[in-house]
Structure 1
Amino acid sequence: MKRGIAIAGLVLLLAGCGSSTTGTEALNKAAPAREFAATGAPAFDEAMTDQAVTDRKIIKNASIDLEVADPEQAARSVARLAEQFGGFVSNESLYRDGDGVDEVTFARLQVRIPADRLTQFVDALKADAIDVRSLDMTSQDISEQYSDIEAQLSNLRAYENELRLLLTEVRDRPEAKTDDLLSVFENIRQVRGEIEQLEGRQRLFDSQVSLATVDVTLTPSEAVAPLAREGWSAGSILRQAVRGLIVALQWIASAAIWLVAFFLPVLVVILVPIGLVIWLVMWIVRRRKRSATDGGDGA
C-alpha cells in the first residue's frame, strides 16, 4: 500500500512537470520507481501480514504403492474413487514386465485430489488394497513465494496504470514526438509481459495448492498371480520356435553369401599381390645363392 502511494505521488510529480519535460525524460525519471515496483518487497501492513500467516499456501503431494489382485481393474477403481472425491486422473499407464509365465501387469496413475480431502482419499486407497508396499506424503509451504508474487503484481499493475496516464499526457502535448510515444509504449509492453508471467506462475501455484497430486502404483500380488499366462498354446510356442529356426538359417545363409561374394574376392585381391612379392623375393634370394655357389666352385 505504501509502495503504491509512493509510485502514484512520483507519477503525479512527473505530470506536474510535463510542460517542461518530454516523454523520454519522464520515463527516465520514473525508472527508479519502476525498479522499486518490481523488487517484490513486502507491501503489506502488519494486519495484512498477520492475515497472510494464517492463510498459508501449502502444496501437498503423496506417493503410494499398492499391492492388488488385478492392476487393470484396480486402476478403474482408482479412477472412480477419484471422481467420488471430486478429483480426476491426469495420467495413466499400464505396462507389462517379465516374459512367459513370469509376465505381470503393472499400473501407474497420477491423480489430482482436492487438498483438503487428501488424507481421506489415501485411506480409501489403502482400504481397497491387499497391502500397502510404500507410502510417502509431503507438503511444501509456498506462502512466502506467493506473497512475493502478489506484492510484485500489485506494484507492477499500479506502475502500468501510471504509465498509461503518462501516455495520455504525452499524446496531449502539442510538442510530443514519436520517439516519446514509442518509448512509453515499450515500457508498457515490458510491464505487461512481467505481469502476465507472474499471473501465470500465480495460477500454477493456485492449482497446486487447491489440488494435491497423488502418484499411485498398482503392483500385482504374487499370491493371486496365475501360474500360467492366459492364452498359452503349445502350437503358438512351436510356431515361434520354427520362426526362430528360419531366422537362424537365414542368417547362416546370408553369412555364407557374404563370405563367397565379398570376403573371398577381397582376400584374393589382397593376397595375390602379396604372394607375388614373396615369390619374387624368394626367387631372387635363391638365384643369388646359386650364383655364389657356382662362383666358389669355379675358383
Structure 2
Amino acid sequence: MSRYSSGEAEDYAPSVAAPSPKAETTPSELKIQKRMMVYSVNVNLQSKEIEAKVTEIIKLAESYGGYALQYSSNGVVQLKIPAEKLKQFLFTLKNQSQNYSEDVSAKDVTEDYTDTEIRMENALKMRVRLLDILKTAKTVEEILKVEAELNKVSESIERWEGKLKYLSSAVQLSSVQVRVLQKWEPVVQKEYKPGPLGYPFYYLYLGLGKVKDGLIWMFVQEIPKEKAEIPD
C-alpha cells in the first residue's frame, strides 16, 4: 500500500499504465488495461462552525458526483467520491478550509481482481459441464450427486461475482473521511474607556492607586536596613 502526505494530491490519479504483458496472457488479463487502484483519504481541518462546515462539505461532495455515507455532530464525515474527480474535490476542499491536512493511501487490487475473475470464469465453465452431465444422468443417485456439485459451483460463482462488484465499486468510488475540528479565536481584551459619568470615578481610582504606591514607598524607607554579614 502506498501513502501520500499532505499536499501531494495532484501527484496521483485513479489508475496508471499496466505492466508489460506476460508471455502467456489469459483473456481476463487482457480485459484489464490499467492498474486498479483503491484510494482512501483522511482529512483534518478546522472551522469556527462545525455543523455549518459539515453541511458545506457534503454539498461539495455532491457537486462532484459523490455522497455522504454518514456524518456525526462531532464533525466526522464519511464520503464516497468518484475516483476520477478525487483530485479536484480535495483541491477545492483545501482552498475552502483552514488548517487543512490530508493523508492519502493507495492499494493496488489489480492482481486480486484478475485472480477472482479467473476463478469465476472457471466456475462458469464447470457449471456448463455439470449441466451437460446432468442431462445424461440416468439414476437418481447420479442426478443427486451432480445437483450437489452444481449447488457448490453456483455458490462459488455468487461469491466471486460479489467480490468483483465490491472491488469495482472500491476502485470507482474513493473513500474520504473528513474530521472538522473546532477553531477557537483568541480573546482580545479591549482597552477600558469610561463613559461621560465614569471619568471622575476613573481618575479617582487612578489617584488612589498612586497614593497607595507613595505610602508603601515611605513605609519601606523608614525600615532600618541591616548590614549584611558574610558568615564565618
Per the alignment, residue 195 of structure 2 pairs with none
Q: SS of 1:139's equivalent?
A: strand
Percent of counterpart pairs with the same letter? 24
Aligned length: 165
Whole-Å separation in 2 of the counterparts to 1:115 and 1:71: 26
Residue number in structure 1 paired with 2:64: 85
Give the conservation status (yes or no) of the 8 Å contact 2:83–2:171. Answer: yes
Instruction: Deviation per CA, 1:196-234: give whole Å up to 9, x if none.
Output: 011111111111000000000001111279xxxxxxxxx
- Give 1:46 deviation, angstroms: 3.1
- TM superposition score normalised by structure 1: 0.52
- Alignment RMSD (CA, Å): 2.0
Equivalence for 2:139:
177
Within a 5 Å distance, the mapping from 1:255-294 to structure 2 comes to: none
Aligned mate of 1:137, from 90, 99, 104: 104
Structure 2 unmatched ranges of 5 or more: 1-22, 188-232
Cα distance in 1 for residues equivalent to 2:129 and 2:26: 27
**Pair 1:59–1:113, CA change in 2 (3 A):** same
Which residue of structure 1 lines up, in the alignment, with residue 177 of structure 2?
Answer: 215
Question: What displacement does 1:78 show?
Answer: 0.7
Rg larger for: 1
Which residue of 85, 101, 107 maps to 1:117?
Answer: 85
Mapped to 1, the partners of 2:48 and 2:131 lie a distance apart of: 65
Structure 1: gaps spanning 5 or more residues: 1-43, 96-106, 171-175, 226-299
Equivalent positions of 1:44-83 (< 5 A) are 45-46=24-25, 48=27, 51=30, 54-83=33-62
The correspondence of residues 123-272 of structure 1 with structure 2, limited to 5 A, is 123-132=91-100, 134-170=101-137, 176-223=138-185
Give me the whole-angstrom Cα distance separating, in 2, the residues matched to 1:140 and 1:46.
Answer: 23
TM-score by length of 2: 0.67
TM-superposed deviation, 1:123? 1.0
- The alpha carbon displacement at 1:179 in A equals 1.1
Q: Deviation of residue 86 (structure 1)?
A: 0.3
Change (3 A) 1:64 1:224: farther
